[in-house]
Structure 1
Amino acid sequence: MMTKRIKVLQLQPDYNVKEHDFADLAEQIVKALPAERYEVVAAFLRGKPQQGEPVSRAGRSVYFEFSDKQLKGLRLQAMWQLYRFCRAQRFDVVICNRFKPVNMLLQLNRWLKVPLCIGIAHGFGEYERYYRRFQVKYLIDHAWRFVGVSPAVRQYLLECNCGFSAQNTLAITNAIDIAQAESLQFSRDEARRLLGVDLQVRLLGTFGRLVPIKGHVYLLRAFARLKDVHPQVQLAIIGKGREEPRLRAEVDRLGLQGRVHLLGFRENALQYVRAFDIWTMPSLAEGLGLALLEGMSGHLPVVASNVPAMLPLIQGAGGLAVPPADVDALTAALADYLRLSDQQLKERGEQAYAYLCANHDIEAFRQKYLRLIDEALKETRTSP
């Protein structure tokens, strides 16, 4: 006799499925749930794939295509549609990624009575507003479990003092599929040829969104202090965003033309990670910083900001941690690495890679989510 499968809804704010899922938290959770036991539906509040774009590996995908306006304020129309959908489907588990889906399900589950709801917090600041804390404290019940993507994010939730507790809140540190990530990476020389970077220089840099919180302007200023001492060193940043005009102006102001490469958006940026010799992340804040793990997957030594979510990773990887927005400290850290020989840099990179394999293995990540769902379902179904 076939056992009825557990019905799981994974709700995300935006369609953002990538061709390669090595660092996609939601898709890795889908992979964690055996198809013979779980029936998984992926739902997205905004957006949908265009022709030829990838879809979730979940058994079914649903695209609500709500507008930004429909997801602001009371969101009555969006709430009603989501309620009707969940009521008709009778899910056993709803996994909510980021604040908006969590907020909507906290309200709706007063009537839906889904046995298990899991809210995943990816960063800091989501519960800074008083009314959000008040609402969460009022609505959290025995059906809810919460996950911080790093111990620092979990600690942030606990310190909000609004219903998150040691019993209902845990940390499951983000991971990446290391084998898949490495299989995508070009060799050092091929990556540089594709990026148009000199094969002979030492290259430091990173990739990611060009937004102020990533701290790229401080990296430019630190590099400006080193460029004359290390004429064979260049800097490259892969990514796009609203900060790009400011960064280009800063390159001109600091006289870094020809030494700094703002390379724009590149599909599957991880392919180019081995073009770099030193990986940098000067972020002002991070929930975890997947790009840090991606740099380690390229066997690169790391320099990054000592924000709470990243400091244990940097230390574990044998990297150099600096205070955010501290140009003096960032300059000194980069100088320390640039004084090393090629062999010494390679050894630092191998240390970072070994740490990644030992502490951010994707199979361990999947098993933690599977265990959370299995154990929490048993608890919630026996609770009064």
Structure 2
Amino acid sequence: MTRRFKVLQLQPDYNIKRHDFADLAEQIVKALPPERFETTMAFLKGKPGPGEPVSRSDHSVYFDFSDKALKGMRLLALWKLYRFCRKEGFDVVICNRFKPVNMMLQLNRWLKIPLCIGISHGFGEYDRFYRRRQTQRLVDRHWQFVGVSPAVKQYLVDCKCGFTERNTHAITNAIDIPQAEALQHSREKARELLGLSADARLVGALGRLVRVKGHTHLLKAFAALKDKYPEAQLAIIGAGREQQNLQAEIEQLGLGGRAHLLGFKENALQYVRAFDIWAMPSMAEGLGLALLEGMSGRLPVIASSVPAMLPLIQGAGGLAVEPGNVAQLTAALDRYLALDEQALRAKGEQTYQYLQGNHDINVFRQQYLDLIESGLAQANKEPA
């Protein structure tokens, strides 16, 4: 029997969900035929509690390092990771986000794993000069890199620190559309579960309550239209450190009873059909999966024209607004709130057709499988 290739995925934090419709790492596991690949998922921090889900990979490893162990030189963490990788003899290591990439860049000088893949999910990871200098020194023929959108790929290449057109690729995030749709409640049921009005015209948003998500601009834009559209309401799913500030802003803007902070919801996608319009006013994004989730619910989208999202908004026929531009966001909301039900549904159907044609999960899986197979083939050709 032919030996299976051993693949390690290294994650910064334990974050496994019961449903993997939008889980990048779990979808890569699904991309690898089990008769040819043996997969291990390893997490630098965290581990599941009783009854919590585990990865679909063949093996799961929880280093459970403390925050302190992963700061500074990280010598103990590096040593433990080195010993683990050396013992297991992996053929491929896939690193999600900066810290795992940085650690494996250092360790693979000695491990010589044939193929290492570093995945960047956003901008800014290599803005610091010392990070670029270190990366430039450590990137070698063993490495390939992925940006989760063409804009993230271009950011990496423009850093000029070892990322090139030859070793850096754009594999756009996708979601498992059939799985996502199967999770979604009907419009009526979703509103009932969220405690929202059955008759309101609802603007929805999903994301952590942090400044970069731009929720304060959405509140201001909605407040400018609250008297023009008295039947309209706004609801935001998510939790975070800005919750108190946003709640205070709701009161200051006279949006009590009209704007709702719904808090964290497990598998928030299940509620997406509660809404009529999907808004994503982020100041920055790598590729906002929440935008794709809104599209899977057949919702018209309004989102910030950040580089990673602009092609998606345009392709889906949505409305793009400058990040932080309340006047543009107000005009976009006004345009969609003024539509009748039939016209709004037609816009939502347009976004869904775009999603199906451009963010299919099977294409995503095949791109990762092709990258891994071609990388291994190239490694076998090159002298050690």
TM over 0.5: yes
- 2:245 is aligned to 246
- Alignment-derived partner of residue 4 in structure 1: 3
Give 2:344's aligned residue. 345
Matched, 1:66 2:73: no
The one-letter code matched in structure 2 to 1:113 is K
State the distance in 2 between where 1:268 and 1:112 align: 38
1:161 maps to: 160
Deviation track 1:123-173 (CA, whole Å, cap 9, x = no partner) reads: 000000101000110000000000000000000000001110000000000
* Residue in structure 1 matched with residue 322 of structure 2 by the alignment: 323
Alpha-carbon displacement from aligned partner over 1:41-85 (angstroms, at most 9, x marks no partner): 000000000010000000000000000000000000000000000
Q: Deviations over 1:76-95 (max 9, x none)?
A: 00000000000000000000
Q: Does 1:131 align with 2:130?
A: yes
Specify the SS of the correspondent of 1:94.
Answer: strand
Match of 2:294 in 1: 295
Secondary structure at the aligned position of 2:11 is classed as: strand
The amino acid that maps onto 2:140 is D
Alignment of 1:180-219 (within 5 A): 180-219=179-218
Distance in 1 separating the partners of 2:93 and 2:287: 23
Between the aligned partners of 2:246 and 2:379, the Cα distance in structure 1 is 51
What letter matches 2:347 in structure 1? R
* 1:25 partnered with 2:24: yes
Q: CA deviation at 1:383?
A: 2.1
Q: Secondary structure at the match of 2:311?
A: helix
Q: Offset at 1:339?
A: 1.1
Q: How many Å separate the matches in 2 of 1:49 and 1:55?
A: 7
Taking structure 2 as the reference length, the TM-score comes to: 0.99
Measure the CA separation in 2 of the matches of 1:380 and 1:142: 8
Identity across matched positions, percent: 70
Task: Tell me, in whole angstroms, the C-alpha distance in 2 between the residues paired with 1:264 and 1:87.
Answer: 43
**Which SS does the other structure have where 1:226 is aligned?**
coil
Q: Deviations over 1:337-375 (max 9, x none)?
A: 111110000000000000000000000000000000000
SS in structure 2 at match of 1:299:
coil
Following superposition, the deviation at residue 208 of structure 1 comes to 1.4
Q: Distance in 2 between matches of 1:278 and 1:319?
A: 10
Shift of 1:178: 0.3
The separation in 2 between residues aligned to 1:144 and 1:196, in whole angstroms, is 49
Paired residue type of 1:273: V
Helix, strand or coil for the counterpart of 2:224? helix
What TM-score do the two structures reach when normalised by structure 1?
Answer: 0.99
Letter of the 2:159 counterpart: C
Give, as a single letter, the amino acid of the residue that structure 2 aligns with 1:318. G
Q: Who is 1:231 aligned against?
A: 230
> What stretches of structure 1 move > 2 A for 4+ residues in a row?
none
Paired with 2:305 and 2:26, the residues of 1 have a C-alpha distance of 29
State the shift of 1:381 in Å.
2.2
Unpaired runs of 5+ residues, structure 2, are none
Identify the residue that residue 80 of structure 1 maps to in structure 2: 79
Cα drift, residue 277 of structure 1: 0.1
1:57 maps to what in 2?
A: 56
Letter of the aligned partner of 1:36 in structure 2? E
User: Matches of 1:307 and 1:132 in 2, distance apart?
Assistant: 24
Residues 162-190 of structure 1, C-alpha deviations (whole Å, 9 max, x = no match)? 11000000000000000000000000000
Q: Number of aligned pairs? A: 383
Letter in 1 for 2:219: L
Letter paired with 2:284: A
Counterpart of 1:110? 109
Provide the rounded CA distance (Å) in 2 between the counterparts of 1:267 and 1:369: 28
The residue aligned with 1:274 is 273
Name the SS for the 1:66 alignment partner: coil
SS of aligned partner of 1:263: strand
Q: Is the 8 A contact 1:150 1:287 kept in 2?
A: yes
Distance in 2 of aligned mates of 1:281 and 1:347: 20
Q: Please tell me whether the aligned partners of residues 142 and 383 of structure 1 are also in contact (alpha carbons under 8 angstroms).
A: no
